[in-house]
Amino acid sequence: MGHHLNYIYDKIDTLSPVHSRKLKKNLEFFDRRYHKLADAFFDKYIPLLQLENKTLDYSINCYLHMVDDVNNETIEFLRTGKYTSSTFNEVNNRVYARPEIMEYYMHGLIMSQFLWRHHYQMFNYFIETLPKYTGQIKNYLEVGVGHGFYLSKALEILDNATAVTAVDISETSIEMAQNFVNDSRVAYKLKNIFDFNNDEKYDFITLGEVLEHMEDPLTLLLKLNELLSDDGTLFFTTPTNAPAIDHIYLFNNIREIQDIVKSAGFRIDSEMSFLSKDVPPEKAGKHKITELYGAFLKKM
């Protein structure tokens, strides 16, 4: 294990021994490629922190703050069977419009890419599958760019001539993505995707964990169907049973996600799902364990 990961695990072990034990269960699962990708990521991420007079300790604290949020949200979810927020205005006032919340939340999420097994598995699925579509991609769009991690890897895979656009409603997310990606090929848009002109078409759209933030995810999928070229591809991810401070829409199971995809006029070209805990699928459903679903979609 690289020295950055060693430091992170040791620090979390000191600050939160209970959570550390959960994380260490993943270590036997992670392969050599995981460690190579993690080393490359932290070699890039830590200097960016230093430019902002921040340290890896800062990000670890952000991550543990986010974990505390998730734990608190999970308690309420298991008690009530629903998320604590149900409207965009609620989460906008609670999270998106508050830079101090967005900052620790984004840094916490980016750390989770290499600490949560299901996040790494989905990322690995994306970077393994995207090259199959690159020959058809002249215009690439990422909706909800967040911390910019997926975008950074897409840029390594896409042809240099590909036009790339990244959109987010959060100024904090846009700034973080710009700093992390730092690539002149990307046009960043601080904008609501529903304000995009339908006349412009994209050959590939990435939508990473956005649907659960919507009051009506079908509306967003229909919008992306309009923005997608006739032979284009949409890659999206969304979780079931995943309480968080900014999650609105609850998918109870994978079937509900597949149904809404079909209702939006898409067919599934490829799909995968990963549980957040190493449990049998029947137990996951019964105990409402988070399952992260991802798929590459084509228009019907």
Same structural domain for residues 73 and 130? no
How many folded domains does the chain comprise?
A: 2
In DSSP terms, which residues pair with 190 in a beta bridge?
168
Same structural domain for residues 90 and 208? no
Same structural domain for residues 166 and 240? yes
Q: What is the CA radius of gyration of the chain?
A: 18
pLDDT digits 0-9 by tens, 186-195: 999 999 999 9
Helix (H, G, I), strand (E, B) or coil at 9: helix
Q: Which residues does the chain have with pLDDT short of 70?
A: 1
Helix (H, G, I), strand (E, B) or coil at 101: helix
Residues in the chain: 300
pTM of the model: 0.95
Same structural domain for residues 168 and 237? yes
Boundary (domain end) residue, out of 112, 147, 168: 112
Q: Give the Cβ contact number of residue 168 at 10 Å.
A: 26
The CATH number of the domain holding residue 129 is 3.40.50.150
Same structural domain for residues 262 and 159? yes
Same structural domain for residues 184 and 231? yes
Given this model, what pLDDT does residue 1 score? 66
Same structural domain for residues 104 and 149? no
pLDDT digits 0-9 by tens, 17-39: 999 998 988 887 888 889 888 99
Boundary (domain end) residue, out of 112, 130, 153: 112
Same structural domain for residues 33 and 157? no
DSSP string, 179-213: HHH--TTEEEEES-GGGS-TTS-EEEEEEES-GGG
Instruction: State how far the Cα of 293 lies from the Cα of 275, in Å rounded to an integer.
Output: 9
Same structural domain for residues 144 and 290? yes
Boundary (domain end) residue, out of 95, 112, 129: 112
Burial call 60-86: b when 16+ CB within 10 Å, e when fewer: bbbbbebbebbeebbeebeeeeebbbe
* Full domain range(s) for residue 288: 117-299
Given this model, what pLDDT does residue 249 score? 98
Helix axes 32-51, 3-15, angle to 10 degrees: 80
Given this model, what pLDDT does residue 7 score? 94
Same structural domain for residues 85 and 164? no
Same structural domain for residues 153 and 272? yes
Same structural domain for residues 80 and 185? no
